[in-house]
Amino acid sequence: LVLLLLALAVTGLPVPTPNLRFLAACLAGGLAQVVATNLLIMAFGFRNFAVGTAYSKTDVVQSAVIALILLHEVLRPLAWAGIALGLTGVMTLSLAGRGLRPGDLLRATVQPAALCGLGAGFGFALTTVFIKLANQALSGPSLVVRALLVLVVTNTLQTLMQGGWLAWREPQELRKAFTTWRSSSWAGTLSAAGSACWFTAFAMTDVALVRAVGQV
């Protein structure tokens, strides 16, 4: 919210007018990110959590495919090669010391950790596409202002969704969240700053290219 107010002050522009398409895309993107994050945490609960983490890195490829279908973003062959190279690199790092050969990795695909990782990657891929759709649903000359408004609305909806779930199912955990605000606020602030960069970049170019460079 602070970043959005600063952007409005610098540009002198009014707040873009939200619409139903914008709100629906923010809601879908926020929900997809919450589900993806929970799937990634679930992957940590299995013995082969490193496999789950590695498979979650397929979100770049999945983003490219989903963006091709929904956003009609067509990548050049060199871009696909770069994405494949980056994916190979992060999976190698994630599985460092595991000694998994390609055949072992293929057989590991059916493990619960790997399935959670693939599901997390799919959720993160959906998130990137919905965030871009939300930005495209707004009108206004400032790309940064639109991106920050998407971020504020998405984070607000995520807080309501996740907070409502905790209040219903685990109210004691919700109370703990308020007692640790001194440390968790730093994580939240840095996360919001990083998301502001992500959301702005998604609005500027192909989402798969943003995710691929972001992996570095």
What pLDDT does residue 105 have? Answer: 65
How large is the angle between the packed helices 49-56 and 77-94, nearest 10 degrees?
160
CA angle centred on 67, ends 102 and 64, rounded to 5°? 25
First to last CA, the chain: 28
pLDDT of residue 9: 95
pLDDT tens-place string over residues 59-92: 999 999 999 999 999 999 999 999 998 888 877 7
For residue 102, the tally of other CB atoms under 10 A from its CB is 7
pLDDT at residue 194 in the model: 94
Contact 119, 59 (CB under 8 A): no
Q: pLDDT (tens digit, 9 = 90+) per residue, 114-137?
A: 889 899 999 999 999 999 999 999
Taking alpha carbons only, the member of 205, 201, 148, 155 closest to residue 11 is: 148
pLDDT at position 31? 97
Of 187, 45, 60, the C-alpha closest to 116 is 45
Question: Residues near 182 by Cβ (< 8 Å), separated by ≥ 6?
Answer: none
Structure tokens at 195: 């998301």
Query: Would the CA dihedral through 86, 29, 108, 50 be positive or negative?
Result: positive
Closest CA to 120 of 206, 41, 200, 28: 41
Read off the amino acid at residue 48: N
Q: Tell me what pLDDT residue 56 has.
A: 87
